[in-house]
Amino acid sequence: MVRALAMATAASSLQLASARHVARPPASLRALPTTARPGASASASADNTTRRLALFHIGSVIPQAHLFGTKFHGLARAEGSSSVEAGTAGVVAQASTIVDQDCALDWAKKDRRRMLHVVYRVGDLDRTIKFYTECLGMKLLRKRDIPEEKYANAFLGYGPEDSHFVIELTYNYGVNKYDIGAGFGHFGIAVEDVSKAVELIKAKGGKVTREPGPVKGGKTVIAFIEDPDGYKFELIERGPTPEPLCQVMLRVGDLDRAINFYEKAFGMELLRKRDNPEYKYTIAMMGYGPEDKSAVLELTYNYGVTEYDKGNAYAQIAIGTDDVYKTAEAIRLNGGKITREPGPLPVINTKITACLDPDGWKSVFVDNIDFAKELE
């Protein structure tokens, strides 16, 4: 797992949360420090019959039950209470956990979430920018060099960051090659004419790995290309769309487990699921809106494969949220691993939290208001 870097400069939240190259331990592999939280201890019963989770928000302790609006989180046994009372405490605590999970799911569904950007590493930033703008028709939205941290990045996409899903490219000084691994699949781009898009890419010297034609087991016309670093892009033929950068495909070892996690912890909707027994794989499309109007996450399960090498090239997806604290607890309640506790980043004060899904894929949640301020 490639870890994220904390920086003392006023960079973007995604720059500060971006994973760094494995081969550069001095500066590029330091993990984001856990945000220091105000010194208040969580209360517990004498016999630990309840599980009190404390969150620290705006200088105060917020028990999990309070955070999600539950009225009772556990039953403390008074001194000298009977075993029957202890048993009752256990039942109530268990019931409370179920209530908390329901409240967390309700929160995740109501939260104003949107896929903001996807982060990955490249060996030559200018070369990749040239390919994406000339061959894929993207726009360079912004570019930033951070010499004190020995890296630079660029944001590209088909519209402004405040309303579109975009790409963040990261270049680490002196690193010209990365291992993409077997777990990352591809990015998807919607185009009105796949054949014309492929002709343009060939004319510009791009590599086409799958000529235009119907998708296996379907009718949609697609093609596959590779960028200069070996990242695959699927060109998908469809009508005009407000979100041309429309997919990120990741492979998972247990599709039902992954669907359950992204529904409950991330508040995504299962848009469709398709089994292809002839080719021994199943896919599930997850997202916050319909495929033809928003970016989605494509989860792919290949029969019998439960684990993948993730390499060190692909980093993470960033998602907007109204409350990183509640989001982190919802993720915990549904089996996710928090790798960066919720709280503000140094200097810029943008609140984020980072996590891993059950397959080890990383995501970063960014406070919506703070993110909007970064773009001003």
In tens, the pLDDT along 64-99 reads 444 555 433 333 333 344 444 444 444 434 434 445
Token representation of residue 278: 């002839």
Q: Are 15 and 43 in contact (CB under 8 A)?
A: no
Residue 102, C-beta contacts closer than 8 angstroms, at least 6 positions apart: none
SS3 assignment, position 359? coil
Q: What's the confidence (pLDDT) of residue 348? A: 81
pLDDT at 202: 95
Check if the beta carbon of residue 31 is closer than 8 Å to that of residue 338. no
Terminal C-alpha separation, the chain: 33
Name the DSSP class of 149.
Answer: G
Q: How confident is the model at residue 376, as a pLDDT?
A: 87
Residues catalogued as catalytic: 234
Specify the range with the lowest mean pLDDT, choosing from 27-36, 81-90, 176-185, 287-296. Answer: 27-36
Beta bridge pairs of residue 153? 144, 170
pLDDT tens-digit map of 158-168: 999 999 999 99
> Is the pLDDT reported for residue 254 higher than 80?
yes
Rounded Cα distance between 178 and 174, Å, is: 12
pLDDT at residue 285 tops 50:
yes
Polymer length of the chain: 376
Taking alpha carbons only, the member of 65, 38, 68 closest to residue 50 is 65
User: What's the one-letter identity of residue 283?
Assistant: I
- 367 vs 57, which has greater pLDDT? 367
Nearest by Cα to 165 from 318, 363, 12: 318
Binding-site residue ranges: 168, 186, 234
Average pLDDT over residues 277-301: 96
- State pLDDT tens for residues 143-152: 999 999 899 9
Q: Please tell me the predicted confidence (pLDDT) of residue 296.
A: 98
With 50 as the cut, is the pLDDT of residue 154 above it?
Answer: yes
CB atoms within 10 A of CB 220: 10
C-alpha 142/C-alpha 151 separation (Å) is 15
Higher pLDDT, 82 or 7: 82
- Ranges assigned E (strand) in 58-113: 60-63
Question: Which is more confident, 234 or 32?
Answer: 234
Q: Collapsing DSSP states into helix, strand and coil, what is residue 26?
A: helix
- For residue 154, the tally of other CB atoms under 10 A from its CB is 21
**pLDDT tens digits, residue range 123-135?**
999 999 999 999 9
SS3 label, residue 256: helix
Q: Flag whether pLDDT at 224 surpasses 60.
A: yes
Binding residues for Zn(2+): 168, 186, 234
pLDDT at 67: 56
Residue 105 banded pLDDT, cuts 50, 70, 90: confident
Closest CA to 261 of 291, 299, 290: 299
Q: What pTM was estimated for this model as a whole?
A: 0.77
pLDDT for 165: 98
